[in-house]
Chains A and B, each alone.
Chain A
Amino acid sequence: MKANVIVFEAAILIFFLFFYHGSSRAMGKSRNRAFFTGALLYSLAIQTVAVLGGVMNFYWYQQNNYYKHYPLGGYIIWLGLVPLAAGLLFYMVAAMTQMLSTVMIPKAGVWARSALAGAIAVGFYLLIEPIAITNHWWTWNLKSFYIIDIPLVALFGVFAAVFLFNAVYTLTVLEARDQKNLKKFEDRTAKKLLKTNHHPGNLNWRQLQWLFLYRLLMSLVVFAAFMTPVIVIFWAVANRGQIPPNW
């Protein structure tokens, strides 16, 4: 038996069902639903950009003769260019690290907790990546610096994504705060759209969800701003080039 993509996808889908049930109880149904939707959209946005930019792809099995008897050649459920399983994996890792960081250092600040969550998430992906690339669940195709065939950019990306996502979730949904630096900007944009001038703590749940989505979009900009120099630096010290386009 091989740890092929079907095994990976089936395992993730089964684990997800149990995990979602558990996290609904741990976080509360509405909050977990918001966390799940946010995490799925967040990872989808990042990975879709990565696929479009030629950084990674999920298509090895689709092109492989050996797996042609599998339905659709590889992953079964796709969200555009990215398989659902990849998004669910991000959700499970982000939610688990969020809960762990809250439980382990409950009195620490938001940023420290988010940093711990990001660090634990990197641990998870350090375990997942070698198995994923060996079995071609996904393929990294970026000119970059690689350690055990994992581009360091990917690990920085996981840290930044989980850190920012958890920070936004905590600041918007759990603690519902205004950000000093962003307050003026949010008052002029998001709160105008929501037709309210209330403190986030006094928004109703629907408005809070929209604010969460808005802040996630803003954090994607921050993510891009963080990742650009990281990609450039590792591009400059790359030890592996891009796989030819006709691959």
Chain B
Amino acid sequence: MANKRIELEQYKHFVNLLEEEPNRKTARRGFLTCAIVMVLLVVGLIVMGFMSTNLARNPSNVTSKPQPKTSTPTGTQVPSGTEVPSGTQLPSGTQTPMAPTDKLMSDAGPARLIDTRPGDLLAQAQSSTPTPINISAPSTSPGSVTSPGKPAAKPLPTTTSGAGNLGNLANGAGARGLDIYVLVLGIALMIVIYLGVRRVRLEGKTK
């Protein structure tokens, strides 16, 4: 008995840990809570998937660049997708005809207002306008030199094609591809969670 007490004293933390083990009923309820939360999360993701279908239909949405926060001097409109060689000056009063937009670039296309005073360097505008990435062919930066005789190694595109592109899935099956994908996967996950819940409930009933 004394030995047992000493042993318990020695391993009291371990014993406490055993005591901390929740009883099965509490554990079952906890598991059910977690399962319900995860099912709600899956449902939420399905809904968000439905809401995202319009965005996903644009094949280049995933790699679309964000519209920069920085603003340039007032007066001139320059499309954000346009690359202009550095050092070029805008003729005074020149306006590039682009629709003003306050939308996401992926929704509205590459259009943006940049105001410039006559005589301002367009390089300034370019510095706040990142190079476009919605391209299928590799872009060459202004001023870059390529040797005519040597065929340059073709770099990989920054957008995917075929099965690699989410836009193709979203546009497939009558433009319901992403909805179906999200729905099927969501239901599969809910079934997996349900299988776990059923096991736990059976355990609860048998004991």
Interface residues of A, Cβ cutoff 8 Å to B: 1-3, 7-8, 11, 15, 18-19, 21-31, 60-66, 68, 73, 92, 95-96, 99-100, 103-104, 120, 123-124, 126-128, 130-131, 133-136, 139, 143, 145-149, 201-206, 208, 238-244, 246-247
A26 touches B156 (CB 8 A): no
Q: Hey, which chain A residues are within 8 Å of B157, CB to CB?
A: 240-241
Interface of B is mostly: helix
| A1/B34 in contact, CB under 8 A | no
Binding site for A on B (CB under 8 A): 11-14, 16-17, 20-22, 26-38, 40-42, 44-46, 48-49, 51-52, 55-56, 61-63, 65-69, 102-105, 130-131, 133, 155-166, 168-169, 178, 181-182, 185-186, 188-189, 192-193, 195-196, 199-200
Q: Please pick, from B55, B169, B196, the residue contacting A148 in the complex, using a CB distance under 8 A.
A: B169
Contact of B182 among A127, A133, A202 (CB under 8 A): A127
In the complex, given contacts A11-B44, A120-B189, what are 19 additional A-B residue pairs having Cβ atoms less than 8 angstroms apart? A2-B51, A3-B49, A15-B37, A22-B33, A25-B27, A25-B29, A26-B22, A26-B34, A61-B66, A66-B103, A104-B195, A134-B62, A147-B164, A201-B14, A203-B14, A205-B16, A206-B13, A238-B156, A244-B130
- List, sorted by A's number, 10 A–B pairs whose CB atoms are closer than 8 Å: A8-B48, A65-B68, A73-B69, A96-B38, A123-B192, A134-B178, A204-B11, A204-B12, A241-B157, A246-B131
Task: Known contacts A22-B30, A127-B189; decide if A148 and B164 are in contact (CB<8 Å).
Answer: yes
Residues of chain B within 8 A of A15, CB atoms compared: 37, 40-41, 44
Chain A proximity of B52: nearest CB distance (Å): 4
Given contacts A19-B38, A22-B34, A100-B193, contact A202 B14 (CB under 8 A): yes
Beta-carbon contact of B14 and A92 below 8 Å: no
Secondary structure call for the A interface:
helix
Q: In whole angstroms, what is the CA distance A133 to B59 when docked?
A: 12
